[in-house]
Amino acid sequence: MEYINNASAGQISSGSGAVNKILCCECGVPIEPNASNMCVPCLRSHVDITENIPKQAVIFFCRNCERYLNPPNEWVQCTLESKELLSLCLKRLQGLRQVKLVDAGFVWTEPHSKRIKVKLTVHGEVMSDVVLQQVFVVEFTVNNQMCDDCHRTEAKDFWRCMVQVRQKAVNRKTLFYLEQMILKHKAHENTLGIKPNTGGLDFFYATDAHARKMVDFLQAVLPVKVTNSKKLISHDIHSNSYNYKYSYAIDIVPVSKGSLVCLNKRLTQQMGHIAPVCLVSKVANSIHLIDPQTAQMAEVQNMAFWKSPFEAICNPKQMVEFVVMDVEIIRDNERKTFPGQGPVSHRHTLADVWVVKSSELGINDNTIHVKSHLGNLLKPGDYVLGYDLRDANVNNADYEKLNAETVPDVLLIKKSYDKTVRKQSRNWKLKHLNEDIAVDTDIENEYNEFLEDLEEDPELRQNVNIFKDKNKQHIPVDTNDMDDSSVPRITLEEMLDDLVLEDEEMGDV
């Protein structure tokens, strides 16, 4: 303890500049003159400026979310020896208002000791014109207490808002694509829980603001329809406060990549007089369509779809395998165009293709003539997947209105490769929102088709984080199918390294 004398009237200097000393009124020790006429030990025995400041205090810490309680009900995230934690500790000391705080800092303690020590330096005025400076240490005990959010989580009453994502479709490729978009943009960071459900996923949130942020993200990446509702949980008549639970129902368009759709007459006119029977080439923030016979493209926006919705008349499960017998490329000057026609895809090449069903090869020699947009991929002897509309059982009102002569017998969709070889040689993987979900055979087949679409479409995998599979990086592949340069594959430059934290054993030094 020190004292600081602000009075200069009691100091009498001699001609040589030395200060005259007086005797302490308690013990008689010579001291410099001050207002109390006491030495520091005697003044300390009579006055303690820190007597109203507690030397021990308690702060509360939630082990689940690792936050500290900032009274009265705010929980804040603080690291050890941070300025936020120091401010929180000083607020717990009520006696600091009676003195002037000069300095404060942490005294190092073991992180697991549940003790936080703060060294304080304060100034306090005693008697008249005498200011004492004192340094002391306050020890804070860290007690565990569960916060309100974690308490609701343990009580199974943790969510205040739920976002239900559903797609009423046979094919789940769009849901697989949405899952990868959520992981890439980390849109699920504020979720309290993710629960798989029939036809989609359920996301649970603590606040309505986090749920609205998720809804905005879904509206930005996919064509969806949003319906919201709320349910009254409790009502306080004294404070006139209401407690609601909010729910958002997200309906994704019921089509996916590879689905065959039939447009009504009004929509075909708006889309540049595209053929009524079209193929869904991609589902992003809008639905991308392509006519397999002319390679004409069209794009259906979100609002346009829900004004005149359409469903898939054929799904990838109904594809039939054909064998290509002959291919003749159709040149640009031979294409038939008409005024008002929409844009044409330059990634595809129109061709006259003669095919035979794989199941009828060698039994029936009747070839089927098809105009296809896959002329740049097909050659005689290749296998190709397509829809046989002659045997398809289509139950659609717009399809029944079409003239039978204008409807093609067969539409070729994509080139076929050996699925077993592609699966064994796939040296990459994707992450999932829930790794422990049991996958049945149908979902696994659809997921493998989604992986094949990623290999075949470079634009589709730009929005997907693809990671290297260390278990398959060094597997030798010496099959003839994979030696073919036409087989789509993902290069190592497009893959990311999966972060794995492992404890390495210390070697001998």
Confidence of residue 98 (pLDDT cuts 50, 70, 90): confident
Length of the chain: 509
Report the C-alpha gap between 137 and 184 in whole angstroms: 48
Structure tokens given for 492: 């190592």
Confidence of residue 128 (pLDDT cuts 50, 70, 90): low
Q: Which of 153-167, 250-264, 392-406 has the lowest mean pLDDT?
A: 153-167
**Spatial contact of 350 and 327, defined as CB atoms under 8 Å apart:** no
pLDDT computed for residue 68 by the predictor: 93
pLDDT computed for residue 341 by the predictor: 75
Mean pLDDT of 298-326: 92
pLDDT tops 80 at residue 315: yes
Mean pLDDT of 220-246: 87
Mean pLDDT of 448-455: 89
Residue in 302, 307, 295 with CA at minimum distance from that of residue 266 = 307
Measured between alpha carbons, how far is residue 22 from residues 12, 28, 127, 294, 349 in Å? 11, 9, 18, 112, 109
pLDDT tops 80 at residue 352: yes
Span 9-28, pLDDT tens digits: 444 444 445 678 888 888 88
pLDDT computed for residue 478 by the predictor: 47
Residue pointed to by tokens 């794009």 = 299
pLDDT tops 70 at residue 4: no
Average pLDDT of the residues of the chain: 83
**Spatial contact of 313 and 394, defined as CB atoms under 8 Å apart:** yes
pLDDT computed for residue 490 by the predictor: 84
Residue in 65, 82, 83 with CA at minimum distance from that of residue 74 = 65
pLDDT tops 70 at residue 83: yes
Q: Which of 239-248, 283-292, 301-310 has the lowest mean pLDDT?
A: 239-248
Report the C-alpha gap between 118 and 105 in whole angstroms: 6
Determine the 3-state secondary structure of 154 from DSSP: helix
The domain ranges of the chain are 28-144, 158-252, 259-416, 420-477+487-494
pTM above 0.85, yes or no: no
Report the C-alpha gap between 149 and 154 in whole angstroms: 9
Confidence of residue 243 (pLDDT cuts 50, 70, 90): confident
Mean pLDDT of 252-281: 91
- Beta strand pairing status for 277-283 and 287-290? antiparallel
Residues 110-126 as b or e (16 or more Cβ within 10 Å = b): eeeeeebebebebebeb
Mean pLDDT of 102-127: 88
SS3 of the chain: helix, strand, coil, percent, to 5: 20, 35, 45
Span 459-478, pLDDT tens digits: 888 888 898 888 775 555 44
Q: Which amino acid, one-letter code, is at 424?
A: Q
386 or 361: which carries more pLDDT confidence?
386
Mean pLDDT of 237-254: 88
